[in-house]
Structure formats: C-alpha cells, structure tokens
Amino acid sequence: MNIVLYTVPTIEPIDLMALKGHLRIELDQTAEDETLEGWIQTAREHVETITRRQLLTATWDLSLDEFPDKDFIVLPFGNLQDVAPTQYVKYKDSDETVTTMTVNTDYIWETNGDGFGRIVLPYGDPWPSFTPWPSNPISIRFVCGWTSAALVPSKIKSAIKLICGDLYENREATLTQAQGNIMDNKTVDRLLWPCRLWGAF
C-alpha cells in the first residue's frame, strides 16, 4: 500500500488574525506575518499527524497491490467527501491496460461522517479478476477533510493555537531533555485525544 498527497488544502483551520489575537499581537503589526502563517501550517500538519486526519479538503492517491478479500476498502484520514469528478478507482493489468471502475455500478462510496470512509462492492458482486501490473496496479483517488474552516472542531483549533504559541515563545530554542519538547504539550494532547482516528491504518 502506498499513499501520496495529490492536492494540498487551500485554507487553514485558523487565520492570521485569529492567531494574532491568541498571541496578543497588534493586528496592524505585519513584520512577522509570513512566519506566523508558516507556523499555522506547521501546527496543522502536526495535528494531522497526531489525529491521523486530513483536517481540510485535500486529494490523496492510494495504491494497492491487490484487491482485498473483503467486499470493501477502508480509506484513511476521515471525512471522505461525496463523489466528485476527481475521484476514481482504476486498475492496470499486465498488458498495461487501465480500467476505470464505474461508481454506483461497480462500487459505491461510503462516507461515514468524520470516520473512515470506504469503497464498498454492491451486494454479491466480486472485485475484478485480472493479472496485475507489477507496480501499484490499483489506484484510488479520493478527496477528504472538512470542507471549511468553520467545520473544524474547536478543540483542534485550540490545539493549533497552543502549538503556534509554543513556537512563538520558544523560537530557535534548543531545549534540554528536562525542559521537554516544544511540541510535547499535555493540553494539546488532551484536546486532540478524542479527535484521533483509531484502527485500520
């Protein structure tokens, strides 16, 4: 199995003004705006690693060596979005012939709210039988994440602000083991614990 990010989010869970308010920085002070925006992205990516979620809309490519024994394929990161033109399931045989499966005929998308989405076979139907191409013969492109910053849970936004606050206060610091890690914030851990996706991946 191989998972590759295809398109990145175009927005962040919190904006620059919200972070400045949290850090008590005057809104008209712009000298560090680029740094602050970079920290927002860094904090969001760190939170995605902890929670195993895609926070905001992004497109991913999942590659498999074979179809599973079960009648479904679990997709990572949660918040699978409705079928869109960019989503597909394809397989390549040993002759390099690529076949695109037909949604709602060969399979269906199961979004499952903010949990793991799935690709599911219609009742009684098997996966295609074919001689696979030796490298990543099955390709699944899917879109996941909350569709707007307003939908991201407040616990996650608070954790992002706290991480940015730690980076702001401890920039370029080399901490000793006794001082701990900038990213090792117990409040952040408590906020994100109920947001983490468990199992499957």
Please state, rounded to an integer, the average pLDDT across all residues of the chain.
92
Neighbouring-strand partners of residue 138: 64, 91
Q: How far apart are CA 75 and CA 118, in angstroms?
A: 5
Structure tokens, 76: 């990572």
Mean pLDDT across 3-10: 96
One-letter amino acid of 168: Y
Distance CA 87, CA 200 (A): 21
Lowest mean pLDDT among 63-72, 176-185, 189-198: 176-185
The answer to whether the CB of 25 falls within 8 A of the CB of 116 is no
Q: Are 79 and 114 in contact (CB under 8 A)?
A: yes
pLDDT at position 177 is: 45
Helices and strands in the chain, H and E counts: 4, 8
Q: What local confidence, expressed as pLDDT, does residue 121 receive?
A: 97
Token pair in block for residue 19: 């972070």
- The pTM of this model reads 0.89
Residue 176 or residue 119, greater confidence:
119
pLDDT at 31: 87
Q: What is the pLDDT of residues 121-158, one digit of tens each?
A: 999 999 999 999 999 999 999 999 999 999 999 999 99
pLDDT for position 182 = 52
pLDDT above 70 covers a percentage of the chain that reads: 94
**Residue 1 and residue 62 in contact, taking contact as beta carbons nearer than 8 Å:** yes
Angle CA 97–98–103, to nearest 5: 145
- What per-residue confidence (pLDDT) applies to 183? 57
Residue 184: partners with Cβ closer than 8 Å, 6 or more residues away: none
pLDDT digits (tens, 9 = 90+) for 8-48: 999 999 999 999 999 999 888 888 899 999 999 999 999 99
CA-CA distance, 83 to 113, in Å (whole number)?
14
